[in-house]
Homo-oligomer: A and B are copies of this chain.
Amino acid sequence: MLSNIRIVLVQTFHPGNIGQAARAMKTMGLTDLVLVTPRRFPDHEADRLAAGAEDVVADARVVDTLSEAVSDCVQVVGASARLRSQPLPHYDEPDVMAQTLVELAAEDPVALVFGRERFGLTNDEIQCCSHQVSIPANPDYGILNLSQAVQVLAYEVFRAWRQRPDSGYQTPRPSTGPLPTRQQLDYFHAHLSRVMHASGFLTQPHARTEQQLQALFNRAQPNRKELSLLRGLLNSLEESL
């Protein structure tokens, strides 16, 4: 599915941007890079800035026209900051664009096209596209660096993909350690209560204060080890009082 999503860079001026774009792609699971008449390629700067994504750079295809680059694609989205007078269907939101592309990519190749650093895509190149997308940005300064734009849209594509039930993507989560039972937590709260009374902090049962502290500790979600630590602290306090 992600292998069906092609990134096309048109007439990239700085080879370093090709390298950084390749790295951005690879971090988001994309591997199909096509370059339309890049100014200088292959180039040492592209490899240097690829930083672990040299395979994406090495496998990049170079073609002479955008039309060649996307002829087999069923949807071609041009990333463009400029609004055109002959508007293509336009995605306001990159996440909506990404969901559509990922859906289509289950069956057929699709492409995301990026233009030149300074000049973007020409009107003729926009005509090779079926859709247009903009990255919503600061109205006073809204042009992202080329490889940054690739990173943001690749991020949205990866997000759309991993949120699908069929992606099998597992979010790495820090392990919490085993959690205490409700009974162990009750013992802890009773212990805390005794210490609060013994210290003179509470002179009589004070349901509200006790509930507030229980809520706080519930939010903290102590694991068993942490609860042990807290019980140990309460023991020491009790002995000293």
Contact = CB atoms under 8 A, between A and B. Distances in A.
A173 interface: yes
Q: How many copies does the complex hold?
A: 2
A88 to B, nearest CB: 8
A144 B138 contact: no
A94 to B, nearest CB: 9
A138 B158 contact: yes
Given A151-B152, A155-B135, A158-B136, A141 B174 contact: no
A204 interface: no
Contacts of A169: 136
Interface stretch (A20-28, A39-47, A99-107, A187-195): A20-28
- Assign chain A's interface to a size class: 35 or more
Contact of A90 (B52, B92, B141, B173): B173
A236 interface: no
A138 B29 contact: yes
Interface in A141-189: 141-145, 147-148, 151-152, 155, 158-159, 162, 169, 171-176
Q: Interface residues of A: mostly helix, strand, loop or mixed?
A: loop
Interface string A78-95: 000001100100101000
Given A23-B144, A27-B143, 16 more contacts: A20-B145, A20-B148, A23-B145, A24-B145, A26-B141, A52-B141, A83-B173, A83-B175, A90-B173, A90-B174, A92-B171, A136-B159, A136-B169, A148-B151, A152-B152, A155-B155
Interface of A: 20, 23-24, 26-29, 51-53, 83-84, 87, 90, 92, 134-139, 141-145, 147-148, 151-152, 155, 158-159, 162, 169, 171-176
21 contacts: A23-B144, A23-B145, A24-B145, A26-B138, A26-B141, A27-B143, A27-B148, A28-B138, A52-B143, A83-B172, A83-B173, A83-B174, A84-B174, A87-B176, A90-B174, A92-B173, A135-B155, A136-B158, A151-B151, A151-B152, A152-B152
